[in-house]
Amino acid sequence: MDVLVLIAEFFGTFLLLIAIFSTGNALIIGLTLALDIWLLGNVSGSHVNPAVTLAMLVKGSTSPMEFVMYTLVQLAGAVSAWYAYSALV
């Protein structure tokens, strides 16, 4: 698995959760998700959510190993976003 894919998933999840934590505004969150998909979609598919990754596993688009790696990186991005937000607030 390419490391760039994992970095893209981490960064995408981080950005989305920072938008959720800091604003709570549905428009800003939607625009952040759209930007994330536009910037990172061709790199990793821009799942940014373990539920989406699980759906891709069930569909057969990702392997079980990719599912585990994506989920771990997404969780790391989420935890990092929480700590970054907590440090700023």
Task: Say how far apart CA 42 and CA 36 lie, in whole Å.
Answer: 10
Count of residues making up the chain: 89
pLDDT at 58: 97
Mean predicted confidence (pLDDT) in 35-60:
95
The structure's pTM equals: 0.93
Which CATH number belongs to the domain containing residue 61 in this structure? Answer: 1.20.1080.10
Query: How many domains would you assign to the chain?
Result: 1
Q: What confidence tens digit (pLDDT) does each residue in 24-44 have?
A: 999 999 999 999 999 999 999
* Burial grade of 12 (CB within 10 A; 0-12, 13-18, 19 or more): buried
Domain that holds residue 19: 3-88
pLDDT surpasses 90 at 1? no
